[in-house]
Amino acid sequence: MTTTFPHLFSPFMLKGLEIPNRILSTGHDTEMGRDGLPTERLIAYQVARAKGGAGLIVVQVVAVHETARYTPDVLMGTSDACIPHFKALYDAVKAHGTRVFVQLFHPGRELLGRRNGVMQAALAPSSSPAERFRIIPREMSPDEIAEIVEGYGQAARRMAEAGADGVEIVASHGYLPAQFLNPRVNRRTDPYGGTAENRLRFLREVVASVRANTPEPLILGLRFSATEFDSDGVSEEETLEVCRRLRDEFDYFNVIAGTSASASGAVHIVPPMSVKNAYLAPFSQRLKQTIGKPVFVAGRINQPQEAERVLAEGAADMCGMTRAMICDPRMPEKARAGRVDDIRACIACNQACIGHAQLNIPISCIQYPESGRELQFGSRRRSARARRIMVVGGGPAGMKAAAVAAEIGHEVTLYEKEKRLGGQALLAQLLPHRAEFGGIVTNLAREMELTGVRVHLGVEATPELIATEKPDAVLLATGSRPAGPCYEFGEGLQILHGNEVLVGRAATGARVVVYDWLADWRGAGIAEKLAGEGAHVRLAVNGVCAAAAIQSYVRDATIGRLQRLGVEMMPFMRLYGSEGNSVYFLHTASQEAVLLENADTLVLVTPNQPEDALHAPLKSLGIPVRLIGDAVAPRTAEEAVFEGLQATTALCAELEGPTQ
């Protein structure tokens, strides 16, 4: 056992089952199922976390009834034909000593799936509309309730037969069991509604069905939201009372927060970096003291130090560190060995994990694009012959490319003309609630250090320098630069680029218009920064809303802060120019002119253009060259890092030549 994290790496006994450590991968959508069944891609993904040292993996939701298809590729537990497919998954994970549970699920009114291309009819305890997805459900009949209760039991039987060590009832995030518990949603007057005991009836019947259909050793847990962070949601006191009443019916209680039903609540399904680390530990500690049963907790626990503290304080028995292991599947192994500086820490950007899932594409990580792509990039074959590879540019694309090439076995040198690594990620970390984004720079720099990349800072890689160095190949990660303004600006108004505001190069007046063409984190972040400093800010967005281009939980949390700061948000704005203290826009939907008067400063957050001037000279020298990241086209850090991996892997394979 490591002495660094004695609590984290102590085994945990749960109903006779020994879990090797306290690190938990909670149930989360991966979008790697197909036709309702696990795939080789999903198995490879979960095996990577098991090999990395996770003590317990809770596999993502398995639907218990045909009406539970809340996404197109949700896993289904409704037929015995699924058993061998789940067995392959569970056996592969358990082969590495990791224990496996699985979630049993019905979304109730929180239904997104479309069968045959049309919206399904959603079921709920009452016909209570759900505002986030604009679902108007149908009240469940007693026969439908009985059928779904039986579905839980039969799905649990199938999962047990497939080899799961436990099953977890998903009563979190405003899904069906939570809808029965919430008196603002459940307005029934029959035995399933009204009193607190009646509202518990559905969940008690589900428990009875599971117990009746599974062997006694199977572990049964409850996942629930401590609070739903919504005025119509379940409160902490209501949740505590439910857990008191159910304490003897479950083997453990798994704490999370939020609800799918509202914008404010959904933020907590996958809390972004604006939310405090381990923020649910105080509730889980209170719960543990109240009911005296095993308690698991998640919620922004992304470092082993945080998990150790939660466990040492007696706030929980297991710590959910899901995104930490999406970002670094080997996090447990590294923590056990005391290699804390080598852990690739999650920055809670939500871009490629839940962001991908919401687009119905397999999840990954912007820092570690190998995640979710284990079958393609899960291992790197060492080169038989080391080549000299030069990387130009020290932003995320260049750093990832350099680390990958060096890991493959090549001699890699990176040139960055600035005196710091990081590129535009250095700007992102300057915004309010975005400081953790700088972690991508720290993490990639550490990867380069561990693989032996030679880094030259403050040195511009000119064609002459490259010709002198004579590398075998060059990866151009030279990024992008702000494009020149294409607007008509008259006298009288200070015009600034957003980057100037971020680095403190220029001060704005008291009345600021921020023009945000990108509709991502930059415009909204600059508006929040300036409003927080006391300016009156109008945010004119060329999009349907502020931050429209970023993941919805990050977006909604941002919009909430802007609203509280008094920022005026105006969507569908296209900038034309300015004159005096007025700024001229066109409303892109109505094609009508919009005039914003009494401004002191206009801040521009507009598209960049690729910085690719080295490409043509290098091609004329006959040196193999690849453009990656913004040097190809300005996009996000996700594309930059992925192309650093993809292009470098392909280039190294070409340099290696055909396999014998």
**pLDDT tens per residue, range 434-454:** 999 999 999 999 999 999 999
Phi, psi (deg, nearest 5) at residue 129: -60, 145
Range of the structural domain that residue 639 is part of? 381-482+610-656
Q: Are residues 467 and 583 in the same domain?
A: no
Q: Is the CB of residue 512 less than 8 Å from the CB of residue 506? A: no
Is residue 4 one of the residues assigned to a domain?
A: no
Q: Return the CATH number at 398.
A: 3.40.50.720
Q: Are residues 70 and 104 in the same domain?
A: yes
Q: What pLDDT was estimated at residue 119?
A: 82
Q: Are residues 266 and 301 in the same domain?
A: yes
Measure CA 225 to chain center: 18
Q: Are residues 507 and 524 in the same domain?
A: yes
Q: Return the CATH number at 501.
A: 3.50.50.60
Q: List, for residues 387-422, the tens digit of each pLDDT value.
A: 999 999 999 999 999 999 999 999 999 999 999 999
**SS3 (DSSP) at 17:** strand
Q: Are residues 126 and 266 in the same domain?
A: yes
What percent of the chain is modeled with pLDDT above 90?
94
Look at residue 42 and tell me whether its pLDDT is greater than 60.
Answer: yes
- Give the pLDDT mean for 290-312: 97
Which residue's structure tokens are 């397999």?
A: 362
- Give the pLDDT mean for 375-386: 92
Q: What pLDDT was estimated at residue 659?
A: 52
Q: Are residues 316 and 455 in the same domain?
A: no
Paired tokens of 150: 């039986």
Q: Which amino acid is it at 95? A: A
Measure CA 377 to chain center: 20
At which of 343, 358, 376 does a domain end?
Answer: 376
Q: List, for residues 474-488, the tens digit of each pLDDT value.
A: 999 999 999 877 899
Is residue 5 one of the residues assigned to a domain?
A: no
Look at residue 316 and tell me whether its pLDDT is greater than 70.
Answer: yes
**Parallel/antiparallel/unpaired status of strands 582-587 and 573-579:** antiparallel
Q: Are residues 369 and 395 in the same domain?
A: no
Q: What pLDDT was estimated at residue 420?
A: 97
pTM: 0.96
Pick from 377, 379, 375, 372: nearest CA to 357 = 372
Paired tokens of 259: 């609800």
Q: What pLDDT was estimated at residue 1?
A: 46
Measure CA 545 to chain center: 21
Detail the DSSP E strand segments found in 208-322.
219-225, 252-256, 295-297, 318-320
Q: Are residues 142 and 224 in the same domain?
A: yes
Q: Are residues 462 and 596 in the same domain?
A: no
Q: What pLDDT was estimated at residue 658?
A: 66
CA dihedral of 174, 175, 181, 182, whole degrees rounded to 10: 30
Phi, psi (deg, nearest 5) at residue 428: -60, -40
Measure CA 433 to chain center: 16
Is residue 153 one of the residues assigned to a domain?
A: yes
Is residue 1 one of the residues assigned to a domain?
A: no
Query: Residues, the chain, total?
Result: 660
Is residue 3 one of the residues assigned to a domain?
A: no
Q: What pLDDT was estimated at residue 242?
A: 97
Q: List, for residues 246-298, the tens digit of each pLDDT value.
A: 999 999 999 999 999 999 999 999 999 999 999 999 999 999 999 999 999 99
**Parallel/antiparallel/unpaired status of strands 592-596 and 454-457:** unpaired
Paired tokens of 484: 């020149």
At which of 360, 376, 392 does a domain end?
Answer: 376
Paired tokens of 183: 């008196």
Paired tokens of 339: 């290699």
Write down the mean pLDDT value for the chain: 96
With cut-offs at 50, 70 and 90, classify the pLDDT of residue 660.
very low
Q: What pLDDT was estimated at residue 117?
A: 77
Is residue 7 one of the residues assigned to a domain?
A: no
Is residue 278 one of the residues assigned to a domain?
A: yes
At which of 359, 376, 393 does a domain end?
Answer: 376
Q: Are residues 500 and 400 in the same domain?
A: no
The terminus-to-terminus CA distance of the chain in angstroms comes to 44
Least confident of 115-129, 178-192, 215-229, 431-445: 115-129
Q: Return the CATH number at 233.
A: 3.20.20.70
Which of the 8 DSSP states describes residue 276? P
Paired tokens of 95: 């082969």
Which of the 8 DSSP states describes residue 141? P
- Give the pLDDT mean for 220-231: 97
How many domains does one find in the chain? 3
Is residue 6 one of the residues assigned to a domain?
A: no
Q: Which amino acid is it at 594? A: V
Q: Are residues 602 and 621 in the same domain?
A: no
With cut-offs at 50, 70 and 90, classify the pLDDT of residue 120.
confident
Question: In sequence order, which ranges of 420-479 are alpha helices (DSSP H)?
Answer: 425-428, 439-451, 463-469
Q: Is the CB of residue 551 less than 8 Å from the CB of residue 361? A: no
Q: What pLDDT was estimated at residue 3?
A: 67
Paired tokens of 138: 């149908």
Q: Are residues 163 and 216 in the same domain?
A: yes
Q: What pLDDT was estimated at residue 398?
A: 98
Look at residue 35 and tell me whether its pLDDT is greater than 90.
Answer: yes
**Parallel/antiparallel/unpaired status of strands 295-297 and 252-256:** parallel
